[in-house]
Structure 1
Amino acid sequence: MNTNQKKHPLEPFRYCPRCGSSHFVEHSGKSKQCAACGFELFMNTSASTAAFIVNGKGELLVVRRKADPARGTLDLPGGFIDIGESAEAGVAREVMEETGLRVTAVRFLFSLPNVYPYSGLDVHTTDLFFRCEVEETEHSLHFADDAEEGFWIPVQALDASQFGLHSIRQAITRFQQENGSEILKK
């Protein structure tokens, strides 16, 4: 394989998940098909969420990643949407799991593609960014799950380079550009 070419997203999957045949071959740029039973597996993106939570002082709630990828870097509260869960419910659940805060309102902002390395695979994601309002009770704020710690940073003082995931860096920059002056007026 030419090293300049991208690997097929299903390259690590060598056997058909239905019948176990080793005749599981590329069928399209995003699928493999089994020559033995005809099963076709597509690689589609996984859905993930991230929350912009701004307090009354114009500060954004950020967390520090507890695990790889990008362990120790800054992040926004959020994570993968569970099967059978809406994006809004997913972001509210993730915020609760990571910060202990209850989301009271959710507004979709934008989405960005991302690649999330996990367990030796590149998981292609569509990251959905939301502006979330929370019951702002500082005493209920505690960090758990994927968040090692968390703190509030003034939106205009954010440094996107401190965030470890590509889509989060892009989102921080975009959020600052689109919302910075609005937040400063409050």
Structure 2
Amino acid sequence: MSTIHDEKCDKVTLLTGRDDIYSGVTVDQNLLAKTVTLFERQLEQSLIAWRQAKRRGIWLSIPHDQTELIPTAQKFGFVLHHAKPEYVMLTHWLDESDLNKLPSYAMSTVGVGGLVVNKKREVLLIQERFTNVKDYFTIPGGCLDMGESIEHGVEREVFEETGIRAHFRGILAFTYKAQFRFGHGDVHFACLMSLDENEENQKIKFDPLEVAASMDVLDGREQLLEPDRIEVQLSNPNRSIWDIMMYRKKSIDKK
């Protein structure tokens, strides 16, 4: 831990942290001064030291209970990068001879859908409760949780929405939508799912908070639909990148 004395003869602890291979530093947030006044002097002296050491990019994580330090960091050139419940991350690119090479935060969400097929070659479909597309059916699915794998996420989503325990077998296809949420993209994986021998006769239990499908919605017909009755269509042909939805109009099966 390095310390210096500023012009007021106060001892200031320089900010240090983990160096990376790109001549950057991720600051140890445990070293942050506890008051705005001390932090201002600490950051000013640390920036001098980083520039002398030819550091290029600085990653400064400020804990949620010290957010009063953020305006001071911004005054010295730091910009907001991303935020989580535990902290706010700011960055500062110091190398004036090169463009800012610091990577942006994650730009896409990841979604999954499970194509569940039983031995009768029937496919499990749902009608979503919250959707702009009415009277259509799609495979159960949703967004992955933070740090969750595709395999675990699709098994979880299928079970939460339908009560069916199915098992991931592989990825059938994926799509990418450039403008999905908050200006970020969305990657969606359609996954093949299967049932074990003792799971073929599971009862379907739709989640009423997410799924609108029921025996009544399906006109009293079975809730497992034949694969050859499913169409794959482009939901919006005017987009430069189309998102593909598996669905079937209710009117197809009306007699």
For normalisation by structure 2, the TM-score amounts to 0.46
Q: Is the 8 A contact 1:76 1:168 kept in 2?
A: no
Residue aligned with 2:169, SS: strand
Is residue 189 of structure 2 the alignment partner of residue 128 of structure 1? yes
Match of 1:94 among 151, 157, 163: 157
Percent identity, aligned pairs only?
20
Q: Structure 1 residue 161: deviation in Å?
A: 5.0
Change (3 A) 1:98 1:163: farther
More strand by share: 1
After superposition, the C-alpha distances for 1:99-127 in whole angstroms (9 at most, x for unaligned) are 10112343222221135755xx4552111
What's the counterpart of residue 167 of structure 1? Answer: 243
Is residue 213 of structure 2 the alignment partner of residue 149 of structure 1? yes
Change (3 A) 1:123 1:55: farther
Residue segments in structure 2 that go unaligned for 5+ positions in a row: 1-61, 63-69, 81-89, 94-101, 215-222, 237-241, 248-255
Q: Is the 8 A contact 2:161 2:210 kept in 1?
A: yes
**Cα-Cα RMSD:** 3.7
Residue segments in structure 1 that go unaligned for 5+ positions in a row: 1-17, 26-33, 173-186
What's the counterpart of residue 201 of structure 2? Answer: 137
Q: Structure 1 residue 70: deviation in Å?
A: 3.4
Change (3 A) 1:44 1:62: same
Higher RCO by CA contacts (8 Å cutoff, separation 6 or greater): 1
- Which stretch shifts more, 153-162 or 59-68? 153-162
Which structure has the larger Rg?
Answer: 2
Change (3 A) 1:122 1:107: same
What is the number of equivalent residue pairs in this alignment? 145
After superposition, the C-alpha distances for 1:153-180 in whole angstroms (9 at most, x for unaligned) are 211111335979x5343x67xxxxxxxx
Is residue 169 of structure 2 the alignment partner of residue 106 of structure 1? yes
Change (3 A) 1:46 1:143: same
